[in-house]
């Protein structure tokens, strides 16, 4: 295989005929189809990424970008059509899934769309099936299919899903307006709108159940829940602004909707109330300054409209293959009607017929059937110059200096100067319909083809030096040798000729009548000639003999280019592909294929430094490809190319510029004098004001001096407080900074806390529900324990009362016996007192009585101690009774909240138990036992 090949680097052009062919990936990046690829283009940094089409496909049909701007769906026509989904967040657009119609034989999908959550994809196939297919694309699963129409009523658009419903889509077309809902594995039609006589060209969702549609007669219809009920009502003179031509594109956004209201015209409508819209702005595509007629710009129909994610920029594509944009925020700020600007560069809108480069500037010139000639810069990727003419341009040749261009028009051949801002003709040649021309490498001669005759002219004198006659058919290619001594040509008659440009003689010829050649070129060393034609064979010819042949293939070669290093030969094919063939040519079919264009390649050129391969096609696209080896390195060129920056300016332009500069200089001097006069006046005014202020301030200074003398004694205090105030101010600043940091910290915490709140609330709710259940169980248990303790306390109180009563009776009996014995002793003592008086002396009696008194006193003391002990025991019982009363009161309060009709006996029993201690106390007091209250 070849070790040198080409990679797409940058492309100019838009592929027409693709549905929804322009989408915003972000504020600065768009995606659109160009050639045979989808191009991701950054409008600010001017870089491009390519997503090539599938090999063997018959072309792109529709694009769809997911609402999250991550996935791109591409529909391609083939014997079995497919929809490929790419991940745009990957560097090279990694392919995610390839979706097909399953067992149905579908050749193309006319329109595709993602669901709002980007998980589903809907596709509308073409005739004769007209199937609506619903996929879950992430699972690569076909969910449902439904036939939407017949061949008599074609579908024009499958809209985005309903903004708030992944399962509802809208389909519109000629006499068709249907809503489908996915349910239970099927696509079911919601309702049937009566629009048989209406050709609906486009539609968009305004709300969850409302759709607005545009027709071929310029009407705006509103559908609600699938029924077309009325035309939209717009305040003001909106109906006057809506043209009677078809509305080809419509787009909804947050403020209302945007729709095309005529060729090259877009109108913005803002919603002012429900079902009432006001036309706020009209934006037009104005003719370019280089255009010869304003009609082409104004006659462009709007194909697709898209808006950036922030709704800052509106971009549109037209049926002439152009991209335009406008910054809506800038237009609102300026409050004036601003026109559309080109999104990147103005492109060719028809087949490119000519392509040429020069050695002194990084320029490439192209001619096209759109009647324009354009000068591009392949290093800066910009359009340097372009001009539109009234005649079609068939060929172009750029002078080696890059200052002149030769263009073959349908009426004559024109030699033109390339000025700084214009392309102007300065010499005409009577060669109508010249389809091939080329400058010599030295730039002193050029060759122009007139059907089968090659005319060679002198660039200095414009004389026809030679006429090369020999071809019997149209000459399709001419190329000069490096020293300009030879010229190779090939034609439709199957002949490849080498001419001597000094004598005009034919030096070598190779004729193959069965083949019609499309292109021929010298090899890198100018010793052999390579040619391609209708017989599908790449030939190398030397000395009138075929030296080598690359075997035939099913695709015809249409163009040819040889690298300056001699390592590779590039050929363009009728399918738009570019093949890299090693040199010397192989004996087998060995090449590397690049997916380049969607139409036949018409021209191919390699830059003089072997860095870029330039290809043009019938699809109107101009592709710049890098020539690299297998390691991705650029080829090294032995030539040292020096680019110059000279430009052509006419004497009239210089005089006009000098005149303008003189006028501006005089105007500047007038302004300078005027400003000086105004400055002098201002100086005088300022001097008067300064004198007045000086007098005023002098008086103030005097008064301040007096005040200063008064305040002199306070200066120290002032300095002290000033320093203190400074310190406090610094502290305040620090505290303010800390406060700000703490506020930011607490705001961050608050955000995190708010994020965790829901989860914590659920967890706390669950936890407290569990706790509540546990507390309920515990309360029931405590209620049972309370009842048990109440019974225990009742029994304790009863036993204590019985014991106390027994002790009281015992003490009562004891003291009664003691009292009886004391009475008997007293009586006995009284009876024996006389005898005792007689028998003892007075001292002995006193001694005995004193002894008895002491015994009685000891008994009284012991009784008092026993009484004190009993009183302490009673107080202990009272304390226990109070504690029990509090507990009983607490349990009573709990039980009263939970008690029911069946539990009332328990409450009465608790009441009786709580009253029993008071009864016991009352009984003890009644019995004469001293108890504290």
Instruction: For the chain, give the mean pLDDT.
Output: 85
Q: What is the pLDDT of residue 295?
A: 45
Read off the pLDDT of each residue in 532-544 and give the average, rounded to a whole number. Answer: 92
Give the pairing of strands 423-429 and 227-231.
Answer: unpaired
Q: What is the pLDDT of residue 932?
A: 44
| Closest listed residue to residue 419, CA positions, set 652, 655, 649, 657 | 649
Q: How many CA atoms lie within 13 A of 284 on its CB side?
A: 14
Beta-ladder partners of 109: 125
Q: What is the pLDDT of residue 908?
A: 63
Q: What is the pLDDT of residue 846?
A: 63
Q: What is the pLDDT of residue 329?
A: 81
- Over the stretch 237-294, which tens digit does the pLDDT of each residue have? 433 334 467 889 999 998 889 999 888 899 998 888 877 788 888 898 888 766 655 4
Residue for token pair 């006429």: 467
Tokens standing for 495? 């002949």
Cβ atoms of 355 and 366 within 8 Å: the answer is: yes
Q: What is the pLDDT of residue 901?
A: 53
Chain-centre distance of CA 125, in angstroms? Answer: 29
Read out DSSP for 768-809?
A: HHHHHHHHHHHHHHHHHHHHHHHHHHHHHHHHHHHHHHHHHH
Chain-centre distance of CA 698, in angstroms? Answer: 67
Cβ atoms of 215 and 197 within 8 Å: the answer is: no
- Comparing 253 with 904, the larger pLDDT belongs to 253
Cα angle 266, 268, 272; round to 5: 160
Q: Which of 105-119, 366-380, 513-527, 711-725 has the lowest mean pLDDT?
A: 711-725
| Strands lying side by side in the sheet with 464-469 | 437-439, 445-450, 453-458, 464-469
Q: Look at residue 932 and give its three-state secondary structure.
A: coil
Read out DSSP for 820-872?
A: HHHHHHHHHHHHHHHHHHHHS-HHHHHHHHHHHHHHHHHHHHHHHHHHHHHHH
Q: What is the pLDDT of residue 643?
A: 86
Cβ atoms of 466 and 497 within 8 Å: the answer is: no
Q: Look at residue 369 and give its three-state secondary structure.
A: coil
For residues 460 and 444, what is the distance between their CA atoms, to the nearest angstrom? 7
For residues 772 and 775, what is the distance between their CA atoms, to the nearest angstrom? 5
Alpha helix positions (H), 249-360: 295-298, 328-334
Is residue 347 within a helix (H) or strand (E), and if so which, with residue range?
none
Q: What is the pLDDT of residue 817?
A: 85
- Over the stretch 128-145, which tens digit does the pLDDT of each residue have? 888 899 999 988 899 999
Q: Look at residue 247 and give its three-state secondary structure.
A: coil
Bond prior to 93 in cis (omega within 30° of 0): no
Cβ atoms of 906 and 892 within 8 Å: the answer is: no
For residue 177, pLDDT beyond 90: no
Read off the pLDDT of each residue in 181-194 and give the average, rounded to a whole number. Answer: 83
Q: Look at residue 337 and give its three-state secondary structure.
A: coil
Residue 243 neighbours by CB distance under 10 Å: 15
Q: What is the pLDDT of residue 243?
A: 43
- Comparing 582 with 909, the larger pLDDT belongs to 582
Cβ atoms of 396 and 433 within 8 Å: the answer is: no
Taking CB atoms within 8 Å and a gap of at least 24, the contacts of 537-544 are 538/569, 538/571, 538/581, 538/585, 540/584, 540/585, 541/496, 541/508, 541/510, 543/508, 544/508, 544/509, 544/510
The pLDDT > 90 percentage for the chain reads: 40
Give the pairing of strands 71-76 and 82-87.
Answer: antiparallel
- Over the stretch 288-343, which tens digit does the pLDDT of each residue have? 766 655 444 557 899 999 999 999 999 999 999 999 999 988 767 666 678 899 99
Tokens standing for 763? 């967890």
Beta-ladder partners of 63: 74
Q: Look at residue 267 and give its three-state secondary structure.
A: strand
For residue 454, pLDDT beyond 70: yes
Q: What is the pLDDT of residue 922?
A: 65
Chain-centre distance of CA 670, in angstroms? Answer: 53
In terms of Cβ atoms closer than 10 Å to its own Cβ (0-12, 13-18, 19+), residue 870 is middle
| Closest listed residue to residue 116, CA positions, set 159, 68, 184 | 68
For residue 773, pLDDT beyond 50: yes
Read off the pLDDT of each residue in 860-882 and give the average, rounded to a whole number. Answer: 80
For residues 567 and 573, what is the distance between their CA atoms, to the nearest angstrom? 20
Q: Which of 25-34, 223-232, 376-385 has the lowest mean pLDDT?
A: 223-232
């Amino acid at each position: 295989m070849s070790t040198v090949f080409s990679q797409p680097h940058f492309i100019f052009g838009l592929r027409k005929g693709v549905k929804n062919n322009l989408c915003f990936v972000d504020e600065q990046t768009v995606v659109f189809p160009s050639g045979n690829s989808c191009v991701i283009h950054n409008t600010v940094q001017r870089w491009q990424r390519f997503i090539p089409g599938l090999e063997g496909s018959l072309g792109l049909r529709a694009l769809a970008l997911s609402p999250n701007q991550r996935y791109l769906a591409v529909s391609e026509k083939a014997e079995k059509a497919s929809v490929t989904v790419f991940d745009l967040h990957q560097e090279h657009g990694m392919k995610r899934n390839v979706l097909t119609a399953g067992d149905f034989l579908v050749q193309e999908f006319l329109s595709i769309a993602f669901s709002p959550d980007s998980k589903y994809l809907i596709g509308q196939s073409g005739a004769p099936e007209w199937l609506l297919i619903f996929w879950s694309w992430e699972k690569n699963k076909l969910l449902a299919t439904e036939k939407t129409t017949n061949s008599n009523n074609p579908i024009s658009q499958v809209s985005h899903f309903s903004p708030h419903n992944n399962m509802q889509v809208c389909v519109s077309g000629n006499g068709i307006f249907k809503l489908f809902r996915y349910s239970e594995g099927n696509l079911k039609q919601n309702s049937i709108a009566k629009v048989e006589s209406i050709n609906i060209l486009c539609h968009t969702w305004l709300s969850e159940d409302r759709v607005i549609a545009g027709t071929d007669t310029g009407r705006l219809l509103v559908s609600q829940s699938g029924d077309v009920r009325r035309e939209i009502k717009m305040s003001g003179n909106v109906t006057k602004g809506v043209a009677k031509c078809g509305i080809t594109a419509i787009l909804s956004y947050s403020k209302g909707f945007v729709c095309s209201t005529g060729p090259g015209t877009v109108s913005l409508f803002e919603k002012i109330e429900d079902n009432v819209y006001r036309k706020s702005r009209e934006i037009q595509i104005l003719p370019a300054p280089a255009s010869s007629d304003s009609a082409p710009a104004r006659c462009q129909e709007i194909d697709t409209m898209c808006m950036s994610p922030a709704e800052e920029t509106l971009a549109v594509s037209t049926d002439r293959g152009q991209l335009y944009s406008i910054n809506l925020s800038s237009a609102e700020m300026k409050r004036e009607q601003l026109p559309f600007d080109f999104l990147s560069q103005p492109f060719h809108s028809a087949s490119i017929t000519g392509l040429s480069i020069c050695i002194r500037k990084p320029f490439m010139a192209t001619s096209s059937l759109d009647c324009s000639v354009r000068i591009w810069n392949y290093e800066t990727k910009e359009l340097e110059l372009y001009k539109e003419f009234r005649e079609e341009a068939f060929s172009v040749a750029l002078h080696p200096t890059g200052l002149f261009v030769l263009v073959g028009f349908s009426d004559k051949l024109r030699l033109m100067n390339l000025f700084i801002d214009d392309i102007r003709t300065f010499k005409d040649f009577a060669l109508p319909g010249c389809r091939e021309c080329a400058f010599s490498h030295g730039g002193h001669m050029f060759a122009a083809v007139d059907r089968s005759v090659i005319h060679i002219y002198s660039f200095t004198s414009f004389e026809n030096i030679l006429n090369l006659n020999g071809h019997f058919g149209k000459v399709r290619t001419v190329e000069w040798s490096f020293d300009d001594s030879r010229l190779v040509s090939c034609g439709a008659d199957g002949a490849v000729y080498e001419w001597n440009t000094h004598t005009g003689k034919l030096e070598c010829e190779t004729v193959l009548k069965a083949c019609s050649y499309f292109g021929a070129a010298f090899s890198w060393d100018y010793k052999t000639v390579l040619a391609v034609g209708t017989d599908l064979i790449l030939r190398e010819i030397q000395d009138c003999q075929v030296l080598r042949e690359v075997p035939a293939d099913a695709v015809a070669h249409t163009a040819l280019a040889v690298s300056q290093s001699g390592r590779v030969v590039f050929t363009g094919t009728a399918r738009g592909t570019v093949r890299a063939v090693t040199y010397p040519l192989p004996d087998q079919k060995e090449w590397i294929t690049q997916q380049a264009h969607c139409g036949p390649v018409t021209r191919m050129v390699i830059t003089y430094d072997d860095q870029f391969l330039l290809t043009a096609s019938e699809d109107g696209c101009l592709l710049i490809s890098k020539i690299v080896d297998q390691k991705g390195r650029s080829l090294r060129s032995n030539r040292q190319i020096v680019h110059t920056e000279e430009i052509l300016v006419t004497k009239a332009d210089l005089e006009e510029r000098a005149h303008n500069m003189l006028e501006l200089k005089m105007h500047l001097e007038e302004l300078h004098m005027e400003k000086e006069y105004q400055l002098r006046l201002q100086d005088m005014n300022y001097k008067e004001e300064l004198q007045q202020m000086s007098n005023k301030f002098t008086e103030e200074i005097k008064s301040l001096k007096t005040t200063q003398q008064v305040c002199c004694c306070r200066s120290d205090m002032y300095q002290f407080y000033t320093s203190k105030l400074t310190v406090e101010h610094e502290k305040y600043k620090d505290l303010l900074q800390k406060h700000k940091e703490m506020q930011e910290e607490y705001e961050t915490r608050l955000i995190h806390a708010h994020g965790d709140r829901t989860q914590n609330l659920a967890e706390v709710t669950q936890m407290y529900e569990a706790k509540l259940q546990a507390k309920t169980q515990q309360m029931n248990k405590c209620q049972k324990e309370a009842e048990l303790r109440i019974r225990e306390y009742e029994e304790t109180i009863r036993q204590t009362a019985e014991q106390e009563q027994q002790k009281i009776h015992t003490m009562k009996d004891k003291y009664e016996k003691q009292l009886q014995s004391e009475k008997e002793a007293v009586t006995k003592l009284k009876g024996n007192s006389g005898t005792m008086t007689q028998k003892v002396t007075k001292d002995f009696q006193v001694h005995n009585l004193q002894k008895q008194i002491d015994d009685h006193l000891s008994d009284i003391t012991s009784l008092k101690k026993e009484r004190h002990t009993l009183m302490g025991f009673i107080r202990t019982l009272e304390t226990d009774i109070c504690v029990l009363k509090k507990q009983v009161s607490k349990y009573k309060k709990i039980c009263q909240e939970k008690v029911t009709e069946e539990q009332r006996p328990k409450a009465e029993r608790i009441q009786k138990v709580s009253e029993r201690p008071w009864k016991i106390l009352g009984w003890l007091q009644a019995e004469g036992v001293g108890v504290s209250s």
